[in-house]
Structure 1
Amino acid sequence: MKGYGLSFHRGRQRVRIIAVATYLEASWPAAWDAPGKRDRRGGLYRPYLPDLLIGRSLVVSPGVAQEAAKVEGLVRRLVAHSAGHGVDGLARFLLRSEAIASSRIEGLQTSPQQVALAELAAHETGVSRGFTATAALVANNVTALRQAVTGLVSVEALSTADIVALHTVLLPDEKHHGLREVQNWVGGGDWHPLDAEFVPPPPEHVRPLMDDLVSYMNTAEHAPLIQAALAHAQFETIHPFTDGNGRVGRALVHTVLARRGLTPHAILPISLVLLTRSDAYIDGLTAYRYAGDPHSAESRQGSDTWLRIFLAAAATAVEQAERFADELDELHSEWLERHRRYRESQGLRATPRADSAVARLLSLLPAAPLVTARTVQCLLSVTHPAARQALEELAGAGILHPKQVERNTRGYLAREIFDLLALTERRLASTRWDTRESPPGRIVPVRPQH
């Protein structure tokens, strides 16, 4: 049985952790102040201690390696899709879905338009009405996630402190920031881990395991998708924070893929697919947590099981994101025709100049489906009159729809973009990726009515 040693410092005391991938035995004291008899009991429980990633010498089976190469090719094709700006827009709203699904506000519904208004308010002075408090909370969460992931992608080498900082940004109101110093668990009751579905490593093992994890994330030992899968599974196994582990673990998937250059932005909704197929996700993580020799058949089979589930989720994520991108292309072609007819009806040349404000704005709408004249000024570096004229022209063509968001501020919405975003989110929440065959299994935007 392979063991490992790792040292770290706690104050002035040097602590050396010797471990193997195994289930430990620990004793939980009775809690006499607990509300019920079942909650008060103490006894033995079994926290899991994973093997290190560095030096583990994981051998990926030929079948899994081939599948990883195939899915990686699909991801690169998606990144090169002609609807590039729109895919960036998809990223923002898919991150919005993750913010809802992995936070305390799960169960509260807010529309893409509401979140867009809240995001607009965060960046433009004078806009404060027209959106709900829930939408503002989600918008802040999305912004924090995007900024945090971007920051982690740009650093030369990741550190445990970077992951702790990411946790702080994603959960600013969390009472306990920093690596946990207590035992936590998944499932069961609130008072003890005796009935838990999974008990992560004891707290004294968290820092050395996290240092090992970030060291692995700084390597290129495995293909990007394999590395993202292993980093996510190891992080969720360590469960280094008292709360918010799911949200941080999802962000790390995006971080690995972006750092390896596979996805320039967080555009791959792998975690949303895993959330929809939650039973398979949990089964995969359970299989990953082998006990004993990492070279054993059980270990290899467990890793392969998890990797196949993750790669299947990645393939589905690409398929759904590409479907959205294709729909964006179709919509853009329809817009061009609609715009041409409108200009002809106004006695203008059918096609505007390629460098004109209105032509450039039309290309940017998928990434910015809610704008004001001030927003367009900043995006296109044009004068206020030019921005206003471009907006009014696209509104006249039925591409944008005016919406008064403040007394002196008029917003313009590309409703059809929001409709596509809502339909995509609904599909991603269906176990068959088609709401006609199975309804969404979690809170999603309502189906567009117009």
Structure 2
Amino acid sequence: MVERESFHTHSMDDELGTVYSPDLLTKKPILLSPFMLSRVSGAECEFSRADQFISLSPNKEAVREFLVNLESLAAAVIDGDSIDLIDLLASNIAGDSARGDRTVDPGGMPRAVKYKNLIEEHSDPEIARSVLFNRSFMFSLHAQLSYGNPDEFQVSYRGSGADCPDKVHPRLPQRRTIPPYLIDRYMNDLCDFCNREYYSPQIQACLPHFQIEYIKPFKSHIEALGRHLSYMVYARRGFCRSAIIPIALSSLARINMPVDSYKVDHRLPSQQPLALWILHGAKALEITAAFVCDVEKNLTEIERNWRCRVPSVRNGDICNLLLHDMLANPVINSTYVMRKSGKTAPAVGDAFAKLLDAGVIRPLNSKRRYRLFCAEDVIKYYYRLFDAVIPPSWVPGKRLFYD
């Protein structure tokens, strides 16, 4: 693992204070100012327009896959893991042999791949609407997020004798004030809140993440648990139909920005951290709306440039298929392409030769069998976005694309 500063070392204590006692979400209404409500509704409208724009794009599957990949890598970074983009992209190719000389720890898949599978599942509206939030579901979700580590698996909520849990999200006051004997009550209230519709979609999606940071029902993976609850609330309320909302990526992108200079009504000072969290979420949603549109436009431009560079592309041939498919799956091999196209190995080899000559793909390893190729333009676009939010030293393998 790469030695580096933790995501949770960024504290906002000076701006927010250090103590906060959350209320039960279903028992006490949350009072927000007209400014706050207008900001939230504006962000929801912006993202809804962006989601509609993506749904009409011929590359909507590629955009969603791109966002899921970025989010899963950002989530792994927050957990302190070293990340490898190529390994994540190669996981789309079925079978262990697809990785060529790249191997996976036999103890389990990389954390980013695990997160990717869970994000895809929890951002699916149909799956999210079928979920019943209760105690059993919370324990099951935590078991999935804990990476199958038996030392972290719990059959009861955290007790007074538990080790000190992870620090609170850097955008929140750091001191937790919910005693262990109240955890059951707060968790039952949180499940009831997620099962029904409260407030607007953006506010309801923000609140479970906010609340779980203070309840801390488990010893670890609190940040991840809060994100996945938010994914499911967004999907249940009609968001994420075409584009997901990259919560972890937004947190990394805004972590060094100052806390928003917003003060709630002085008669309710206890709600200031919650109001600031909602405002932070609304601003992140506005940024996300513009970001997903930029992703679609850049991927469309990449495909247009490819088609200008590859001569004699006809409908139905392998090159035509790959020029579209590689936007979503930029790491491929011959086995994957034969299965995808139904063509023979010699035909796939001819297509690879044409794409290599045009500079669209390049080999990732030297093996003759199970040789991996990548769409270099898409990989470089991933790394350009990483540069904006993740320190370069946290992303091994970039030197392969920046010679």
Q: TM-score, normalised by structure 1?
A: 0.71
Give the structure 2 partner of residue 69 of structure 1.
Answer: 41
Give the structure 1 partner of residue 79 of structure 2.
Answer: 103
Are residues 112 and 60 of structure 1, via their aligned partners in 2, closer, same or farther at CA, if it must alter by over 3 Å?
A: same
- Correspondence 1:319 to 2:295: no
Are residues 365 and 397 of structure 1, via their aligned partners in 2, closer, same or farther at CA, if it must alter by over 3 Å?
A: same
Are residues 136 and 388 of structure 1, via their aligned partners in 2, closer, same or farther at CA, if it must alter by over 3 Å?
A: farther
Deviations 1:322-345 (A, max 9, x none): 333322122111111112xxx2xx
- What is the distance in 2 between the residues matched to 1:125 and 1:405? 17
| 1:370 to partner: Cα distance | 0.6
SS in 2 for 1:126: helix
Are residues 300 and 48 of structure 1, via their aligned partners in 2, closer, same or farther at CA, if it must alter by over 3 Å?
A: closer
Q: Which runs of 5+ in 2 are unaligned?
A: 1-17
Q: Please say if residues 333 and 370 of structure 2, whose CA atoms lie closer than 8 Å, have aligned partners that are also in contact.
A: yes
| 1:297 to partner: Cα distance | 2.7
Q: Please say if residues 127 and 406 of structure 1, whose CA atoms lie closer than 8 Å, have aligned partners that are also in contact.
A: no
Any residues of structure 2 matched to 1:114-125 within 5 Å, and which?
Answer: 114-117=87-90, 119-120=91-92, 123-125=94-96
- What is the distance in 2 between the residues matched to 1:226 and 1:85? 27
- What is the distance in 1 between the residues matched to 2:392 and 2:277? 23
Aligned residue type for 1:274? S
Give the structure 2 partner of residue 333 of structure 1.
Answer: 304
Q: TM-score, normalised by structure 2?
A: 0.78
Give the structure 2 partner of residue 205 of structure 1.
Answer: 182
Higher mean C-alpha deviation, range 244-253 or range 152-161: 152-161
Residue 443 of structure 1: which of 388, 394, 399 is its match?
A: 394
- What is the distance in 2 between the residues matched to 1:72 and 1:379? 37
- What is the distance in 1 between the residues matched to 2:242 and 2:180? 34
SS in 1 for 2:30: coil
Q: Please say if residues 43 and 282 of structure 2, whose CA atoms lie closer than 8 Å, have aligned partners that are also in contact.
A: yes
Aligned residue type for 1:400? I
Deviations 1:171-226 (A, max 9, x none): 111513234332445559xxxxxxx9412522222222122112211222222211
Any residues of structure 2 matched to 1:183-262 within 5 Å, and which?
Answer: 183=160, 184-185=164-165, 197-262=174-239
Are residues 381 and 222 of structure 1, via their aligned partners in 2, closer, same or farther at CA, if it must alter by over 3 Å?
A: farther
Residue 145 of structure 1: which of 118, 124, 130 is its match?
A: 118
Are residues 114 and 397 of structure 1, via their aligned partners in 2, closer, same or farther at CA, if it must alter by over 3 Å?
A: same
Higher mean C-alpha deviation, range 310-319 or range 133-142: 133-142
- What is the distance in 1 between the residues matched to 2:202 and 2:234? 7
| 1:412 to partner: Cα distance | 2.0
Aligned residue type for 2:189? D
Give the structure 2 partner of residue 113 of structure 1.
Answer: 86
Q: Please say if residues 373 and 387 of structure 1, whose CA atoms lie closer than 8 Å, have aligned partners that are also in contact.
A: yes
SS in 1 for 2:394: coil
Give the structure 1 partner of residue 370 of structure 2.
Answer: 409
Residue 376 of structure 1: which of 331, 337, 344 is its match?
A: 337
Deviations 1:412-447 (A, max 9, x none): 210111110111122134xxxxxxxxxx49824647
Deviations 1:128-179 (A, max 9, x none): 5433658952444334433552586252433232222121112111513234
Any residues of structure 2 matched to 1:31-42 within 5 Å, and which?
Answer: none
- What is the distance in 1 between the residues matched to 2:114 and 2:365? 25
SS in 1 for 2:372: strand
Aligned residue type for 2:334? A
Q: Please say if residues 52 and 209 of structure 1, whose CA atoms lie closer than 8 Å, have aligned partners that are also in contact.
A: yes
Q: Which runs of 5+ in 1 are unaligned?
A: 1-45, 189-195, 289-293, 344-349, 430-439
- What is the distance in 2 between the residues matched to 1:395 and 1:441? 28
- What is the distance in 1 between the residues matched to 2:348 and 2:49? 34
Are residues 372 and 428 of structure 1, via their aligned partners in 2, closer, same or farther at CA, if it must alter by over 3 Å?
A: same
Q: Please say if residues 186 and 197 of structure 1, whose CA atoms lie closer than 8 Å, have aligned partners that are also in contact.
A: no
SS in 2 for 1:410: coil
Q: RCO higher in 1 or 2 (8 Å CA, sep ≥ 6)?
A: 2
Give the structure 2 partner of residue 85 of structure 1.
Answer: 61
Give the structure 2 partner of residue 166 of structure 1.
Answer: 141
Aligned residue type for 2:306? W
Higher mean C-alpha deviation, range 126-135 or range 68-77: 126-135
Residue 276 of structure 2: which of 273, 295, 305 is its match?
A: 305
Deviations 1:339-379 (A, max 9, x none): 2xxx2xxxxxx4412x4433232111111001122222333
- Greater percentage in strand: 1
Higher mean C-alpha deviation, range 133-142 or range 89-98: 133-142
Q: Please say if residues 127 and 405 of structure 1, whose CA atoms lie closer than 8 Å, have aligned partners that are also in contact.
A: no
Are residues 61 and 259 of structure 1, via their aligned partners in 2, closer, same or farther at CA, if it must alter by over 3 Å?
A: same
SS in 2 for 1:255: helix
- What is the distance in 2 between the residues matched to 1:380 and 1:267? 28
- What is the distance in 1 between the residues matched to 2:96 and 2:348? 18
Q: What is the identity percentage for the equivalent residue pairs of Structure 1 and Structure 2?
A: 22
Structure possessing the higher radius of gyration over alpha carbons: 1
Give the structure 2 partner of residue 32 of structure 1.
Answer: none
Higher mean C-alpha deviation, range 154-163 or range 294-303: 294-303
Q: Please say if residues 86 and 366 of structure 1, whose CA atoms lie closer than 8 Å, have aligned partners that are also in contact.
A: yes
- What is the distance in 2 between the residues matched to 1:360 and 1:128? 22
Are residues 379 and 351 of structure 1, via their aligned partners in 2, closer, same or farther at CA, if it must alter by over 3 Å?
A: closer
Q: How many residues align?
A: 365
SS in 1 for 2:371: strand
Q: Please say if residues 362 and 374 of structure 2, whose CA atoms lie closer than 8 Å, have aligned partners that are also in contact.
A: yes
| 1:229 to partner: Cα distance | 0.9
